[in-house]
Structure 1
């Protein structure tokens, strides 16, 4: 579904970037979401929040400090 009509940005694009760790502000800079008319801002913010809630950063940081290991990228 297209979320940002002005820049033709879909919910899939927003979700993909948010799951990669981008904040809403970073999405605005990268994709241009909610930078024209602004009518998509609430929907885009909600998508980012949903992705962040599904992958809480605090839980990862706590797990790292408990076992002493660092997360490595493959």
Structure 2
């Protein structure tokens, strides 16, 4: 879905950059999201927060030959 109409930036573009470890400011500089009219800023920031590498989606533990997920994200983009 297009989040930033002015720059034609999709939620997938924002999520991909956020998962790569970029902050909102970095993404804004790189993609131009929320740099013109600013109406998309709230939504773009929400996507960055959900996809941020600071909050990993899952932590795998190895023990007895089993892989266990100890944390999962509440929603995926």
CA distance in structure 2 between the partners assigned to 1:6 and 1:54 by the alignment: 29
Higher percent of residues as strand? 2
- Gapped regions of structure 1 (runs ≥ 5): 60-74
> How many pairs were matched up?
57
- Gapped regions of structure 2 (runs ≥ 5): 60-77
Structure-2-length-normalised TM-score: 0.69
Detail structure 1 runs of 4+ shifted over 6 Å in the superposition. Answer: none
RMSD: 1.8
Higher percent of residues as helix? 1
Structure-1-length-normalised TM-score: 0.71
Please list the CA deviations of residues 34-56 of structure 1 after superposition, one character each: whole Å capped at 9, or x if unmatched.
00000000000000000126428
